[in-house]
Chain A
Amino acid sequence: MNFDIALLLIQDGLTNGAIYALLALAILLVFAVTRVLYVPQGEFVAFGALTLATLQQAKVPGTAYLVAGIGAVTMLLEIAAALRARRRQGLGVSGLLYVVIPTALLGLAVWLAPRQPPLLVQVLLTLALVVPLGPMTYRLAVQPIANASVLVLLFVAVAIHYVLMGLGLVFFGAEGWRTPSFTSLRVELGPMTASGQSILVLAASAILIVLLWQFFGRTLWGKALRATAMNRTGARLVGIPTEASGRLAFTLAALFGGFSGVLIAPFTTIYYDSGFLISLKGFVGTVIGGMVSYPLAALGAVLVGLLEAFASFYASAFKEVIVFSLLIPVLLWRSLASRHVEEEHDE
């Protein structure tokens, strides 16, 4: 390997790593706030990429119908819950969130799609269609058993992954898509030529990460999420509704997932089931961060991206094996560093 190839691989690795970092942060956020190991995070990546790809073909993306459909189911659940509790309070807000907005989005998508709007509008519409699926998923699948053990929540997460992946097949079909590059710009950076696309990904990821950091540090809701992550009971006692925290965490995760999908779509062909493997690389990042540290998780994810780039150059067939083998030294180190006996209270 010569220097040029190495630079190219580093560029590739950093680009993928930046996307994995977004996923790692989202996964960590969801785990910290709700204790759900968020396996379905990858489906939001696939949905984001496939929605954008469909919009670029001037067709109405399946996500538009999916949002309206799942929204309707969520509304039915809310009505049933309201009837049981004999309380109509909050139904108006639910109606807005789960019926009015999704229907409006569907209308917007049907109207906009054939008109081939500019790329930025397509991206915004993609995010608008993907993000509501996050809180709906939380409401439908997680909220009713939010206090169950980590193990049960993991099963629920895997089940959500299956449902969303299957729905992806129904609404997007089995075909894979790859979007054209956002920009054909190339930038001379000393000895290397960086593609504008890669720079765009790095910049966008960096901006999103800084925004998340500011959100945690500066806003009341960000602080509420951190409080819930530290101590659920304590957060509840000081008046933070843990359901709302959970919903917010899932919303942010969907945003990060959908955005990652938009970013990754020009690099690789995405199928309805591609998300699983992509999000697992985010998981490797979070494990490197010990499932607690945001900066370490992001760094770990970048490391995964770099390792993957070099692995695909040297032994492309074993790329995934090499990436996941990275877990072994990490787990070994964590295992040797920990001494206390874990306690799980789940009855």
Chain B
Amino acid sequence: MTPARIAAASFVVLLAAGPLYLPEFYITSVNYVGLYSLVALGLVLLTGIAGLTSFGQAAFVGVGAYATAVASVQFGLSPWLGLPIGLALTALVALVLGWLTLRLSGHYLALGTIAWGISLSYVFGNVQGLGGFNGISNIPPLPLFGAKIQTAREFYYLIWACVGLALVALVNLLNSRPGRAIRALRNAAMAESFGVDTARLKVVVFVYAALLAGLAGWLHAHYLRFVNPGPFGVGYSIEYLFMVVVGGAAHVWGAIVGAGLITALKNWLQDLLPKLFGTSGQFEVIVFGILIILLLQHAGGGIMSRLARLFPPQRAAAVAPERADDLPRRAAPSRGETILDVDRAYKAFGGLVAVNAVSFEVRAGEILGLIGPNGAGKSTMFNLITGVLPLGAGEVRFRGERIDRLSSRHIVRRGIARTFQHVQLRPTMTVLENAAIGATLRGRGGVVPATLRLERPEERAILFEAARQLRRAGLGGHLYDQAGSLALGQQRLVEIARALAADPVLLLLDEPAAGLRYQEKQALAGLLRGLRQEGMSILLVEHDMDFVMGLVDRLVVMDFGERIAAGAPEAVQADPRVIEAYLGAPG
């Protein structure tokens, strides 16, 4: 057993035996920590992993709690029915809020959820049917096969069972196809270029986090048997966020550590500070605030990132299997067939014509180099083909179908995969996981099967494929290294392996040799030749002449947005216009 597992296992044993040795007061506190942990787990996913934030989590807890309170008290329904009702309501609200704000930049979600959180506490406080500020009391305990879950000790097990399940579910989700897409959300352009619908996925993540809060609300209502607007205000939402920041937003265990720590600290400060100041009041917020500021300034990762360094994992979470089924492959075009046809592509930025009626085609099984000096319009051309920029005029066709109006997410579906000029890897994910993002579109398992681990055969196939592409790129020895720890040359190779994992017909490489040393360039050229051998078509945008000369079948040369030459490398090299573009006019 690794130290990390021993630590986790001792925590679970101590926790499970809790009711045997803890006095009543602590049982209650630990129950609260459990409820907070559930909400905080959702925030780890939303904030720590996906980079979004919500000030409405306490309000979602409130929706879950009030829904079951109204259902069981006013309609006399079973408390067990209150759970699906509450979750459905929570999901509905989260869906609407998410849909409204998540296509905008991140701070709109923050502001939208503050407004929602405040509005909801006024609604709770002012609607007669919800008991106004007095709330709803006499909520029934949970019936269970004739008995009841009623006391703090009974709820202790129920609450922590829920926390345990939520934790396992979240770990499962993160180590899956949709999980990797979620972890890539902060590089939205990269995620989109491998087929991830980032706007939709953000909504899914937001709803997931809201559902965990809704579950906590259901437990809260039947445990306390009383709801009022107090615990569902924006102040509590902020406290949940603080828990995650203190505990460590990027770690699932950070949720529990943070919830425990903040609860303990709050209890202690609420005893201590009124004695210091002589009057009662919420003085602990000053200490919390200063603590958070210092923590963010000096230890951004929270407590868990320190703990994680003490207990380094011995084994990566995602491991490539020895063998697995092959993922389905695309039908390859026959060699020599025209697959990409750029027809008089035109793009202007204001008065500057970056690409002026440039035409060329890429045929199956060849490497076409698109070269030109700085500012020639190569990168713009690249962005036009990959759907990052809309075309001003002209057409781009791929295997006969127009793709110039498609977004990058839909272009990759058709068999075009790309790399990025500025490497876009997730530095804290392993090399294997990064490459597996490329195969996103080759699987279909969604969030629910991933959470339940029902998509394991597919997951094995994806990881197997990612490892295969990495080995092919010469990175077999680095599968489990963090991508951020590799040298730039190796990171560029990871990008190529990731693109290959998408099973493309056409590979678009944006200055893959930039910043590489001589040997690295040689290795890269070797890899590309091998790919061509297997029938891959490659469009290479470069400005390093030496690198492309010995490698490509044909060249297209651009200068000032115009195509100035095209043909075999030797012919192009001798073309006076090309020499002029690169070296300046003679005399």
**Interface flag for B72 (CB, 8 Å):** no
- Stretch of B119-127, B341-349, B549-557 contacting A (4+ beta carbons < 8 Å): B119-127
Which chain B residues border A159 with CB–CB below 8 Å?
Answer: 242, 288-290, 292-293, 296
**1/0 per position for B518-559, CB-CB distance to A under 8 A?**
000000000000000000000000000000000000000000
Nearest A residue to B109 via CB reads A331
A174 to B277, CA, bound (A): 13
Picked from A152, A165, A325, the residue with its CB within 8 Å of the CB of B119 is: A325
**1/0 per position for B277-300, CB-CB distance to A under 8 A?**
101011111101110110011001
- Stretch of B96-104, B165-173, B571-579 contacting A (4+ beta carbons < 8 Å): B96-104
Picked from A145, A165, A347, the residue with its CB within 8 Å of the CB of B285 is: A165
Do A150 and B126 contact each other (CB < 8 Å), given the known contacts A280-B115, A346-B186?
A: no
Q: Please tell me the size bucket of the interface on A.
A: 35 or more
**Interface flag for A341 (CB, 8 Å):** yes
> Are B105 and A342 closer than 8 Å at their CB atoms?
yes
> Are A344 and B51 closer than 8 Å at their CB atoms?
yes
Q: Number of contacting residues on B, CB 8 A?
A: 51
> Are B118 and A324 closer than 8 Å at their CB atoms?
yes
Which chain A residues border B392 with CB–CB below 8 Å?
Answer: none
Picked from B112, B199, B296, the residue with its CB within 8 Å of the CB of A156 is: B296
> Are A174 and B281 closer than 8 Å at their CB atoms?
yes
> Are A287 and B297 closer than 8 Å at their CB atoms?
no
> Are B115 and A324 closer than 8 Å at their CB atoms?
yes
**Interface flag for A162 (CB, 8 Å):** yes
**1/0 per position for A3-25, CB-CB distance to B under 8 A?**
00000000000000000000000
> Are A342 and B296 closer than 8 Å at their CB atoms?
no
B362-415, CB < 8 A from A: none
Picked from B103, B118, B123, B296, the residue with its CB within 8 Å of the CB of A338 is: B103
A292-336, CB < 8 A from B: 317-318, 320-321, 324-325, 327-328, 331-332, 334-335
Which chain A residues border B100 with CB–CB below 8 Å?
Answer: 328, 331-332, 335
Do A338 and B104 contact each other (CB < 8 Å), given the known contacts A145-B296, A343-B189, A344-B51?
A: yes
Which chain A residues border B116 with CB–CB below 8 Å?
Answer: 324
> Are A155 and B126 closer than 8 Å at their CB atoms?
no
Nearest A residue to B193 via CB reads A341
> Are B122 and A320 closer than 8 Å at their CB atoms?
yes
A201 to B53, CA, bound (A): 36
CB distance from B312 to the nearest CB of A (A): 20
Do A331 and B112 contact each other (CB < 8 Å), given the known contacts A145-B296, A156-B293, A162-B289?
A: yes
> Are A335 and B118 closer than 8 Å at their CB atoms?
no
> Are B111 and A155 closer than 8 Å at their CB atoms?
no
Nearest B residue to A336 via CB reads B103
> Are A341 and B192 closer than 8 Å at their CB atoms?
yes
**Interface flag for B467 (CB, 8 Å):** no
CB distance from A69 to the nearest CB of B (A): 12
Which chain A residues border B15 with CB–CB below 8 Å?
Answer: none
**Interface flag for A141 (CB, 8 Å):** yes
CB distance from B240 to the nearest CB of A (A): 12
A272 to B189, CA, bound (A): 44
CB distance from B449 to the nearest CB of A (A): 27
B254-298, CB < 8 A from A: 277, 279, 281-286, 288-290, 292-293, 296-297
> Are A155 and B192 closer than 8 Å at their CB atoms?
no
Do A160 and B104 contact each other (CB < 8 Å), given the known contacts A155-B245, A170-B277, A321-B123?
A: no
Which chain B residues border A154 with CB–CB below 8 Å?
Answer: 53, 107, 110
Picked from B107, B199, B283, the residue with its CB within 8 Å of the CB of A37 is: B107
- With contacts A148-B296, A173-B279, A342-B105 known, what are 4 further pairs, Cβ within 8 A? A37-B107, A152-B296, A158-B292, A324-B118
Residues on A close to B: CB < 8 A? Answer: 37, 140-141, 144-145, 148-152, 154-156, 158-163, 165-167, 169-170, 173-174, 277, 280, 283-284, 287, 291, 317-318, 320-321, 324-325, 327-328, 331-332, 334-335, 338, 341-344, 346-347
